[in-house]
Amino acid sequence: MRRKWLSVLCLLLALILPACSSGSGTKAADTKVSKVSDMKGTVRVALAGWKLENGLDPLTGNETIGLKQYLKETFNKMYPNIKLELYEIPWENVKAKQTAMLMSKDVDVLYTGGAFASQWYQEGLLRDLDDLIKNDPDFHKEIYLEGIWNNSYSTRSPDGTKQFGIPAVLGRRLIVYDKKLFEDWGVEPLSEKPTPAEILEKAKKMTGKNPKTGEPNYGLYWSGNSLNGSTFVALCLAFGAKGAEGSLKDIKNIKWKLNTPEMVKVMEWLKEAARLAPAGFVNGQGAENFGLARNNIAIGIDQTGGSTMSEYRTKKDKALLDRFAAVMNMGPKGEGWVAVDPFVMAKDARDPQAAWQVLKFLAGYETQKYMYENYANTPTLKNADFVDPEDKYVKMALKIAEVAHSELMDEANPFYMSDIVPAVNGFISKAASGNAPDIQQFLDDLQKRAENWSANLK
């Protein structure tokens, strides 16, 4: 029996390994660069989720260029005397790894998650970049989206006076709807900046048996267990529910406003909307086919358009692109929660000048272009002219980011992450099963917990 199993395994290996042998060489980067500086130094760079080696894009079958080759053809020619030590770190547990590296002074420049960067900055582990920016005539902050540059907690100190990061990659959270289902139900398309009321009203109309196909349809989808409560953030903006007043710089004296009438409206919306989504949404499931031909959900909130765009990249068929339209988020100006992953510098960077050149280059236009073309990362630039003209989802994400702003109701706020998001997700879960708690009582309780939390900090 054991021999049979081993034979099967050997056969499997024999089949797999030849299939996995490397193919032809990679395409060369087309960037023309020349030497710009004799600056010397060694810079250690920890990159969350970047790929160093060349690989294969499974969607298109094209070979992708790893960061090492890209830098060899660009940065290394521009700064031949700056030696780079690159550490490739998967996103899983990246915070623990990068925290350890910062504490042991094993790193100079990091690419990381926005919330981690904000937390490290407040813990004194990161360096302000203002002096480096001021003394560098080659750095132009105007290239970045204004909404992001001026407002992101991922790159700015809580009081907004210091810059500790440069935005490099944007998170996409837009509203996507299925035109076909709207047509089947005879519902008017969503407006360019839909309000929560419009979304709810139209979603209600499209929940049930599709009048044309007879298949069950769901009016709405959003992730009911979102780790950062992004839909809740957008609703707070839409209803003007501030949740709190004050500054993260003076976190002990934040005045909580969690049980206001505006916040009641937010929760009422969530309560009603929870009945319109597929059951799995409370666990972040149920939208596996959204953006694809088999879709049965009319409106998706906080979507990326990734599945549709991947289908397009693979098959070059625009049918799905035409079917799934993108509009802005629910905030008054179309804003929502916008995640930004920045490049930051360690407080104890060995050689800040050399580290700055590296940081600037990695967050700059050329690298953002390279990351978009090879890995479909969303840029943070005003003039991202390299974006595929068909990529309407990235374009919409950039429009949303342009009007983005940080509030106290987002992941930079520790109480928001530790208590508010789990409480709201719990509320959504109960609402989905028809057992939503009394909203005012729920919010009063949350308000009390928030006040106790602040009191304990004093």
Partner 1 sequence: MAQAGTVRTPPSRRRRSAAGQRLIFLVLLLGSVVMIVPFLWMLATSFDWGARLNITFPPRLWPEEPSLKTYKAAFMNVRMLRYIFNSLLVSAGVILVSALSALLSGYALSKLRFKGSAAVLLLALSTMMIPFEMTMIPQYLLFSKIGLIDTYWAFYLPALNYAFGTFLAKAFIDQLPSELREAAIIDGAGELAVFGRIYFPLCTPIVATMVILLFLGVWNEMLWPLLALKSASKYTIQIGLAMFTYNNGLNHQPSIIMAATTVSLIPVVVVYLFLQRFIIESIALSGIKQ
Residues near partner 1 (CB under 8 A) are: 2, 5-6, 9, 12-13, 15-16, 19-20, 22-23, 49-53, 55-59, 64, 87-93, 96-97, 99-100, 103-104, 106, 288-289, 292, 306-307, 310-311, 314, 371, 374-377
Closest CB to partner 1 among residues 239, 372:
372
Buried b (16+ CB within 10 A) or exposed e, 220-256: bbbbbbbebbbbbbbbbbbbebbbbeeebeebeebeb
Instruction: Supply the minimum distance, in Å, between the C-beta of residue 309 and partner 1.
Output: 10
Instruction: Supply the minimum distance, in Å, between the C-beta of residue 145 and partner 1.
Output: 20
Closest CB to partner 1 among residues 2, 32:
2
Burial of 273 by CB count in 10 Å (0-12 exposed, 13-18 middle, 19+ buried)? buried
Instruction: Supply the minimum distance, in Å, between the C-beta of residue 446 and partner 1.
Output: 28
Instruction: Supply the minimum distance, in Å, between the C-beta of residue 394 and partner 1.
Output: 14
Closest CB to partner 1 among residues 19, 455:
19
HSE-CB for 223 with a 13 A CA cutoff? 16
Residue type, 306: G
Residue pair 52/67 in contact (Cβ under 8 Å)? The answer is yes
d(C-alpha 269, C-alpha 257), whole Å: 18
- Closest to 133 measured CA to CA, from 95, 166, 108: 166
Closest CB to partner 1 among residues 232, 361:
361
Instruction: Supply the minimum distance, in Å, between the C-beta of residue 444 and partner 1.
Output: 34
Closest CB to partner 1 among residues 20, 28:
20
Instruction: Supply the minimum distance, in Å, between the C-beta of residue 342 and partner 1.
Output: 15
Instruction: Supply the minimum distance, in Å, between the C-beta of residue 101 and partner 1.
Output: 8
Closest CB to partner 1 among residues 154, 308:
308
Closest CB to partner 1 among residues 223, 377:
377
What are the backbone dihedrals phi and psi of residue 274, each rounded to the nearest 5 degrees, phi first?
-65, -20
Burial of 283 by CB count in 10 Å (0-12 exposed, 13-18 middle, 19+ buried)? exposed
Determine the 3-state secondary structure of 417 from DSSP: helix
Determine the 3-state secondary structure of 449 from DSSP: helix
Residue 28: Cβ within 10 Å count: 9
Instruction: Supply the minimum distance, in Å, between the C-beta of residue 373 and partner 1.
Output: 10
DSSP letters for 4-51? HHHHHHHHHHHHHHHHTS--SPPPPP-----------EEEEEEEES--
Closest CB to partner 1 among residues 206, 371:
371
Residue 2: Cβ within 10 Å count: 6
Closest CB to partner 1 among residues 96, 455:
96
Closest CB to partner 1 among residues 86, 264:
86
- Closest to 133 measured CA to CA, from 152, 113, 116, 156: 156
CA 384 to chain centre: 17
Burial of 151 by CB count in 10 Å (0-12 exposed, 13-18 middle, 19+ buried)? buried
The runs of H, that is alpha helices, within 40-152 are 67-73, 75-78, 94-103, 114-122, 130-134, 146-151
Instruction: Supply the minimum distance, in Å, between the C-beta of residue 16 and partner 1.
Output: 5
Closest CB to partner 1 among residues 93, 456:
93
Instruction: Supply the minimum distance, in Å, between the C-beta of residue 372 and partner 1.
Output: 10
d(C-alpha 359, C-alpha 426), whole Å: 40
Instruction: Supply the minimum distance, in Å, between the C-beta of residue 128 and partner 1.
Output: 25
Strand order in 41-48's β-sheet? 82-89, 41-48, 109-111, 340-345, 165-170
